[in-house]
């Protein structure tokens, strides 16, 4: 069948909206008609060449839609079901999946991270040859064939143009707080970077009743959104010293938990520096390839300050996505605060330009 998609052709180039051929789902695959897709910084990393990826590639990995057809052997969803896409289509059988950590699934490393399905091929093509689907989610398209575990069923009355965000930003940010870190009521939390994931971390910290939720960004609009989502203090790092303000707010020792949601050397090192003895800094931000950080290991061995990583909020998509949808439907996750605007697939390059200008909030592409 024909689909309309935004295709990455090469670094630094605008995505090109074009018609592609999409095959039917094979065994263990699901065809989804997409309703909406969020535009995430990880797509932008590829466009800017900060992460190596070979075109042609349909970008987008944060989407939601309606199942149209399932391949042989798929039983967990059927035509008509509403689904949120996941970019870790886990195998369920490897040691990481069995340990409840599908974000580390071995099969995902060899398939979704290589933009191919379980059999090593892609379902997309055009006259010139194969086109790949980013993380096998390729959501900048009106239809997509995804691995079965990449389509997570959610309740049908949830608005797809909001819950699409759960597939990346919200699972990653909320999960970093509630799964990876296990923040406790009354803890103090620092969140450095208030893009979609950082704002979701603010929501997560508010959900678990962190006492102090300090949000840092360079953009006042982003900080206003953080306040609306539950931040108890905000710091504009362009105007104020982050270490000085954090110590003013919580004392000289620093915070219990710091979440770095940008991926830069300077902010990673600052986040670690502002964690109290026995506290933990969590690396959530996705760095450009080649970024390295410097830390004093004595702060780990003597002060027991930890540094841990969080991929996809250590989430289990099939368990966590329906719960996050439920929280949204009950008014406990204000997804609207993450959204700055809506557009069509033809607005995709403008959405990246807004990202380049560090504008706050996410653009939702409505298909
Ligand atoms: Zn993302
Ligand atoms: Zn696995």
Question: How far, in Å, CA of 251 to CA of 183, rounded?
Answer: 19
Q: What is the DSSP letter of 50?
A: S
Cα of 176 from ligand 1 centre, angstroms: 14
Domain at 173-310: CATH architecture: 3-Layer(aba) Sandwich (3.40)
Q: What is the pLDDT, as a whole number, of residue 289?
A: 86
Domain with CATH 3.90.180.10 in the chain: 2-167+334-366
Domain with CATH 3.40.50.720 in the chain: 173-310
Cα of 278 from ligand 1 centre, angstroms: 30
* Domain 2-167+334-366 homologous superfamily, CATH: Medium-chain alcohol dehydrogenases, catalytic domain (3.90.180.10)
Cα of 136 from ligand 1 centre, angstroms: 13
Cα of 317 from ligand 2 centre, angstroms: 13
Per-residue pLDDT reduced to its tens digit, 34-45:
999 999 989 999
Cα of 169 from ligand 1 centre, angstroms: 6
Cα of 96 from ligand 2 centre, angstroms: 6
Cα of 323 from ligand 2 centre, angstroms: 22
Taking only the tens of pLDDT, the chain with its 367 residues reads 999 999 999 998 999 999 999 999 999 999 999 999 999 989 999 999 988 888 899 999 999 999 999 999 999 999 999 999 999 999 999 999 999 999 999 999 999 999 999 999 999 999 999 999 999 999 999 999 999 999 999 999 999 999 999 999 999 999 999 999 989 999 999 999 999 999 999 999 999 999 999 999 999 999 999 999 999 999 999 999 999 999 999 999 999 999 999 999 999 999 999 999 999 999 999 888 899 999 999 999 999 999 999 999 999 999 999 999 999 999 999 999 999 999 999 999 999 999 988 888 899 999 9
Question: How far, in Å, CA of 307 to CA of 143, rounded?
Answer: 40
- The string of DSSP codes covering 258-286 is EEE-S--HHHHHHHHHTEEEEEEEEE-S-
């Amino acid at each position: 069948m024909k689909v309309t998609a935004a295709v990455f052709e090469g670094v630094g180039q605008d995505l090109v909206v074009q018609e592609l051929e999409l095959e039917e789902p094979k065994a263990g695959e699901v065809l989804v008609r997409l309703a909406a897709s969020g535009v995430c910084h990880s797509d932008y990393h590829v466009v800017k060449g900060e992460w190596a990826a070979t075109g042609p590639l349909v970008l987008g990995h944060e989407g939601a839609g309606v199942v149209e057809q399932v391949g042989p052997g798929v039983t967990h969803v059927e035509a008509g079901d509403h689904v949120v896409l996941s970019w870790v289509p886990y195998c369920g059988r490897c040691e990481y999946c069995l340990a409840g950590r599908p974000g580390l699934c071995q099969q995902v490393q060899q398939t979704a991270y290589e933009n191919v399905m379980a059999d090593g091929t892609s379902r997309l093509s055009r006259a010139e040859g194969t086109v790949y689907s980013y993380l096998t989610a390729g959501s900048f398209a009106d239809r997509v064939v995804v691995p079965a575990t990449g389509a997570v069923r959610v309740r049908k009355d949830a608005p797809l143009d909001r819950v699409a965000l759960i597939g990346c930003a919200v699972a990653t940010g909320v999960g970093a707080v509630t799964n990876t870190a296990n923040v406790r009521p009354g803890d103090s939390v620092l969140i450095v970077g208030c893009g979609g994931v950082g704002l979701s971390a603010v929501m997560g910290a508010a959900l678990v009743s962190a006492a102090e939720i300090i949000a840092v960004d360079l953009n006042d609009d982003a900080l206003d959104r953080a306040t609306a989502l539950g931040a108890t203090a905000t710091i504009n790092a362009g105007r104020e010293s982050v270490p000085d303000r954090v110590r003013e707010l919580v004392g000289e020792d620093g915070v219990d938990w710091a979440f770095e949601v940008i991926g830069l050397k300077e902010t990673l090192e600052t986040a670690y520096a502002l964690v109290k003895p026995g506290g933990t800094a969590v690396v959530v931000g996705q760095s450009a390839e080649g970024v390295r950080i410097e830390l004093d290991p004595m702060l780990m061995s003597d002060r027991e300050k930890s540094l841990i990583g969080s991929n996809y909020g250590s989430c289990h998509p099939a368990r966590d996505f329906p719960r996050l949808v439920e929280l949204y439907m009950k008014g406990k996750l204000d997804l609207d605060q993450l959204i700055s605007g809506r557009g069509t697939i033809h607005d995709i390059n403008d959405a990246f330009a807004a990202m380049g200008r560090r504008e706050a909030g996410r653009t939702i592409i409505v298909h």
